[in-house]
Structure 1
Amino acid sequence: MTVNFPQLRAFLAVVDAGGFSAAADELGLSQSAVSHAVASLERELAAPLLIRSGPVRTTALGERVLPYARSALSAVRAVTELAEDAGTVAGTVRLASTPTVCQGLVPGLLRHWRESCPRVTVRVFEGDSAEVARWLDDGTADAAVLIDPPPGPGVQLALDGYRVLLPRDHPLAGEPVVDIGDLADDPLLISPNGCEDRIRALHRLAGLRFGPAHRVRDLATLISMVQAGIGVTVLSEVSRSLVPPDLVLLPVEPQTARRLVLSGPRDRPWHPAVRPLAESAAARTPS
């Protein structure tokens, strides 16, 4: 059996792009060349990897092959880029993060990296916390901004404290700090992702019952509902740049925070350009 780099690259491109035509555009090849590469891989494995009728999707075997293909390509890409220019940091790094961090923290990082590591291209992928961790594990992403990861390699970018979001005409909007207990009569709006666990813990620390009135996935919708006076919510400090002028983001008691950590994968070598990015980010982060 002979499985090669072009075969794996074509297979992954079809999966990631959602079809053969889009994969061909991504790779700069003809559609027939991509189809031939995937078909030759399937012949080597003696089984189909893709279901071609309707939207292209993986077979059961294709789903099992996927993480190994990603790891193999990641390793080949890393070795190739090291060999091409051993003395200069260069290449493309795929960075995954959650929407809030992507909007509130990542733009500043990208601007910083453009100046400090000009030969590194960073492509950003946005997903929820579980998706981000999975992408880093299976090789879809080369690096990620993780929320409260276990001890290990990585650079802490921020200790991201939680804040209460209120309309400017709310009775507590002028307070320097808001006790969560003072909002017991306000309908609570939350986003059902990693933040929900933090907000639940905040109520537990205060000895309060946790009973959200609405669960809203999209952050923009959540903010719009606070603007409309439907309720209040708790957001992290990194969300501050997204807060419109008719709302205020105030410190909340009891205090709680999350760690935002830039890291590469835990179980395989990092892409050559990830560590310089992490070191550059560490130099930028206040101690």
Structure 2
Amino acid sequence: MSVNLPQLRAFLAVVDAGGFSAAAAELGMSQSAVSHAVASLERELAAPLLVRAVPARTTALGERVLPHARRAVSAARSVARIAAEAGGAMTGIVRLAATPTVCQGMVPGLLRHWREEQPRVTVRVFEGDSAEVATWLDDGTADAAILIDPPSGPGVLLATDHYRALLPRDHPLAGEPCVDIRDLEDDQFLISPNGCEARIRTIHGLAGLRFDPTHRVRDLATLISMVQAGIGVTVLSEVSRSLIPPDLVLLPLEPRTSRRLVLTGPSARPWHPAIRALAESAAGHPARTA
């Protein structure tokens, strides 16, 4: 039998949050990654731990496993803290820059993780578009950044972030396991003119479609509200999943494409000492599997 900490963390998050979607938001993971972690734990134990209901609840076995899982995760955190104290824990303030989608969909989970793993490091977040984030990292406004598809170099891959179709739940294609962007050609298409537009344009090109959005909306919340109102459909990345209200669905999209989200420091000057500690900590964070 091989039970690991990510499985136990996912199980605890579902119990505490009351469901897989809420647990995914709490952990900074995709819902499918949480489901996979819990299912793999159940396979190892050869029995279900959760009743898949709303809210999710433990089975009799799950109730017995729960206190042991809490102790195991707590012990792992204690070991990490002891090691940090023995080696001289990092301290200081790190200014982290990221795009709005990453800030809203991924950064909260990272901040919670860092607060537990690096309690003496204070992370301050700066939100900007892709060009602003890169500029801030270059000119010293930010000490670190989560960059989208950066050139190869030092850094930690946080997630391979796939693109998805965002549709109203009553859309004719909302029940499909996957949506081909060609099937959305008759829908009004909405777009947020930021770093994602080039990639969404590429998806259209791969499908042989002309990229001709009906509306361009800068604010992500406004874009989501317009889809809710039935004004049109759009394409968002998987990291946005925690922001999607229940009357919308985020579905796999064809042609398939993705982007890399990488935590890194500046390329032209030494990194703040605490950045390396944050990067090493983030390397084991569940967001990497999103």
Q: Matches of 1:198 and 1:87 in 2, distance apart?
A: 43
Q: Which amino acid letter does the alignment assign opposite residue 171 of structure 1?
A: P
Structure 1: gaps spanning 5 or more residues:
1-85
CA shift for structure 1 position 206: 0.7
Cα deviation 1:69-127 (Å, max 9, x = unaligned) = xxxxxxxxxxxxxxxxx933100000000111000000000000001101000000101
Q: State the partner residue of 1:208.
A: 209
Q: Does 1:217 pair with 2:225?
A: no
Q: Which runs of structure 2 are paired with 1:18-29 in the superposition (5 Å)?
A: none
Deviation string, structure 1 residues 20-70 (Cα, Å, up to 9, x no partner): xxxxxxxxxxxxxxxxxxxxxxxxxxxxxxxxxxxxxxxxxxxxxxxxxxx
| d(CA) in 2 for partners of 1:192, 1:126 | 16
Within 5 A, what are the aligned runs for 1:131-280?
131-280=132-281
Three-state SS of the structure 2 residue aligned to 1:273 is: helix
Unaligned runs of 5+ in 2: 1-86
C-alpha distance in 1 between matches for 2:249 and 2:285 = 27
Is 1:91 matched with 2:92?
A: yes
Q: Which residue does the alignment assign to 1:283? A: 284
Higher-Rg member (1/2): 1
CA distance in 1, matches of 2:245, 2:284: 31
Task: Provide the rounded CA distance (Å) in 1 between the counterparts of 2:128 and 2:198.
Answer: 18
Equivalent position of 1:34 in the other structure = none
1: distance between equivalents of 2:284 and 2:242? 22
**1:137 aligns to what SS in structure 2?**
helix
When normalised by structure 1's length, the TM-score is 0.69
User: Offset of 1:283 from its aligned partner?
Assistant: 1.5
Residue correspondence of structure 1 range 29-178 to structure 2 within 5 A: 87-178=88-179
Larger RCO (CA within 8 A; separation ≥ 6): 2
Q: Which amino acid aligns with 1:189?
A: L
CA distance in structure 2 between the aligned counterparts of 1:151 and 1:91, rounded to whole angstroms? 27
Identical columns (%): 80
Compute the TM-score of the two structures, normalised by the length of structure 2.
0.69
* Residues 117-166 of structure 1: CA deviation (Å, up to 9, x unaligned): 01000000101110100000000000000001001110010000000000
